[in-house]
Amino acid sequence: MRLNKYLSKCGIASRRESDELIQRGTTTVNGKMVLDPALSVSDADVIKYDGKTIKPINYRLVLMLNKPKNVITTVKDTHNRRTVMEYVPSNVRVVPVGRLDKDTTGLLLLTNDGDLLQFLSHPKNRIPREYVAEITGIMTPIQIAKLKKGIYIGDGEYGRAEIVSQKKNKGRSDVILRLRQGKKREIRRMYYHLGIKLHQLKRIKFGPITMKNIKIGEFRALTEEELSDLDKLMKK
């Protein structure tokens, strides 16, 4: 097993974040610092992260957090900013599934299941995510069609979204968008290139999991039914 996958199965971080953590010199194998995330390791090796011996977790935990604004979605932050890990118990070892940018609120999943984390995070699986965007005015049919087809959002990338619904409220509208990609700040960049002012953005659904009855900053474990829905998604 690669070292980055081992860290992921221990609930340290996603494989991508594990790459970064390993390269910072946080991990030793049999007493020697290792900087290569691809190093092959086994359960017979003594692997330590931040000086503590780690082992793969043999039980599955998936949490739902209603992420507040101005909080970073990462396990550790080198600039001492607030992270989502402050909102779950320190003795619970889970990592975020994907990312929500600092200014976006709403549904964030955290898990200790490395395989589930990899499946939900990998772009090739095109897991649908739904967001509520509060914008100035209302989107026109032409703008809706542009987002469905895909628009250039800078840095050689194209953004694409399906508009599920929009509801006008005085001079603003609440628009529900469905995405299957997850590029960095994709919705914000799409609205910027459409010339539409975005006031607030909240994620309300991730795959089959919908956020409801949970206050900002609070978390809960997924129900058995919700876990079953995730398992069915992985088997499709």
Residues 200 and 216 in one domain: no
Within-domain flag for 228: no
Check if the beta carbon of residue 150 is closer than 8 Å to that of residue 172.
Answer: no
Is residue 166 included in any domain, yes or no? Answer: yes
Query: d(Cα 7, Cα 19) in Å, to the nearest integer?
Result: 9
Q: What is the pLDDT along the chain (236 residues), one digit of tens a residue?
A: 999 989 988 878 778 888 989 999 999 999 999 999 999 999 899 999 999 898 887 778 999 999 999 999 988 888 889 999 999 988 888 889 988 999 999 999 999 888 888 899 888 999 999 999 999 999 999 999 999 999 999 999 999 999 999 999 889 999 999 999 878 899 999 999 999 999 999 999 999 999 988 999 999 999 999 999 999 998 87
Q: Does any domain span residue 233?
A: no
Indicate which residues carry an active-site annotation. Answer: 101
Can you give the pTM of this predicted structure?
0.80
Residues 216 and 119 in one domain: yes
- Which CATH number belongs to the domain containing residue 40 in this structure? 3.10.290.10
- My answer on whether 213 and 120 are in the same domain is yes
Asked whether residue 230 is assigned to any structural domain, the reply reads no
Domain holding 91: CATH number?
3.30.70.580
Residue 180 lies in a domain: yes
pLDDT at 212: 85
- DSSP bridge partners of 152: 158
Same-domain status, 196 and 134: yes
SS (H, E, C) the chain: CEHHHHHHHCCCCCHHHHHHHHHCCCEEECCEECCCCCCECCCCCCEEECCEECCCCCCCCEEEEEECCCCECCCCCCCCCCEHHHHCCCCCCCEECCCCCCCCEEEEEEECCHHHHHHHHCHHHCCCEEEEEEEECCCCHHHHHHHHHCEEEECCEEECCEEEEEEEECCEEEEEEEECCCCCCHHHHHHHHHCCCEEEEEEEEECCEECCCCCCCCEEECCHHHHHHHHHHHHC
Name the residue range of residue 136's domain.
Answer: 128-206
Whether residue 43 is contained in a domain is answered as yes
Residue 103 lies in a domain: yes
Domain total for the chain? 3
Residue 235 lies in a domain: no
